Structure 1
């Protein structure tokens, strides 16, 4: 049976029970004031004309009328219950239709249930929010797949072109060809490893451990100090002990990506990178800011999308694969944190990662 039929039978059954109880109460009330038998009096002579069974006569009159009332209540309960159940389940029908539409691949449909806010309205609104997020996620995944295919195809196409040139020109310098092939192959490997890291971080497949972000900041800056020296960038570090929990490997990758991004996208010379860690009562902050070109707020909002770069593509060994900040965003969300990108008025950008603080090992260091 459908839910509507079940509700209809429930309404009709309840109405029948209520009617039976009401008629039973009327019958009991009448019995209190009606005698079992009554004597008939002849109005002409005033003498008794016999004994009349009052209750049985009342029952003969009451029973068929009570049965008619119950039949009417049953019919009224079925018809009224069917209509009432249909009206009550109408919002659920709209939600079901929207679910079927989404199942067939159309995620742009919204229920937008009208009326006052009740349980059905809350369910419909929650479903609309889910559809909106799902549509945005699917669109993001499609863009990511298209961009990843394009980025992976580029080094393969370059390798094929180099090999074709070498095949048609046997006298070409082999050492130069091998060097260029190695560079292209290295870039393809870096891109593949970045995609794998992005996938692992998104799955949150790690065991949380105690981590001090200030120590990770020091390690990342020491690792990237030679790159900063070659580019004429000064790195400044400061801050507090910032204890949190998470994956040390992923958080180190996050810190390294931020510092690397700040070094590469900086002024041509005499640039600066500031790495700061801050402890708050409920959270810890890692802030990396750099000098550089002016960045608009609209542009900053897109930098965490995969294969987005702060400047035009630069063909150097440190140009990156366009996944640095996308990985930072994924790792931050995997650790229940928030990522904020703020353009600096003087140029460059300030990136802040806020993670939940932990009370353990607060005196470590």
Structure 2
């Protein structure tokens, strides 16, 4: 069965984009025509501050202390907080958030202010209008995403999680859709879906690595369509306008990205029943013992980066610490510096340090267990 299963109650609907075709009545949701519903709650500008934290943020307390007219939303999947306030107040809000978190020993990661962000709050739309709109566009979105099925299965393998992710994307599109541009909402949603699928890879493994993989895959597909065969390394480099050395370096980045995706033990959590067999040190050669030690250390590192089964779903500890694993592995065994890893994965050294510190704390406990 395909992961992208559509809602059986709407499976027979035509896969339209929501645009008003000639001779067809406008879409009506909750008794309100689609265009009128969006026009009644126009998109507005506000300043927005984005940030993450290195430990749990007491959201209720934070929300209660925010200045009047300022709101906060939390993307549990990405661990990202967004604080919205009046235009011209972005930097003031950023300084206030930094001070509030520092007063509670909470470190902020990637805190930045963005001016004049144009957004609409979906909750401001009439409830019946929003409910019917989501019910209509969610199965259409799932059908539209069939072309991205392999990528989606890689990042969102569970069908229930996928259905929830698509629902979140529909709401995200509602918040970003600008009815004054003259583009129907269905067409806007269709163009955004592919972009957001690509962003899944960026969020998980870094912007540079994900973009490099995307460019290489597009070039391979284009060359094969044109020549009916796979290109040699030199041919692919020429086709992409790169040197062979650059192509090899980028290919290593893509290989690292694919290796991280295949770390099933990170996704599945630590297996407490699994045993690591160690040879008898009195009988085994030194070389085998060295390899056994490396295996134990690698096993401890992977287990230290696995999700914490006791953590709540929205907490960062409930997600595999892939960036922490990459930082430790590539700097310990890969012979790279943190600056090089930062450039390859498209993230900051500071962000890498936050994730690596989490690994260090867990790794100390694992190594203590192994030494006993």
Normalised-by-shorter TM-score class: under 0.3
Q: TM-score, normalised by structure 2?
A: 0.20
Relative CO higher for 1 or 2, CA cutoff 8 Å, sep ≥ 6?
Answer: 2
Q: Work out which of the two has the higher radius of gyration on C-alpha atoms and give 1 or 2.
A: 1
Q: Which has the higher strand share?
A: 1
Q: TM-score, normalised by structure 1?
A: 0.20
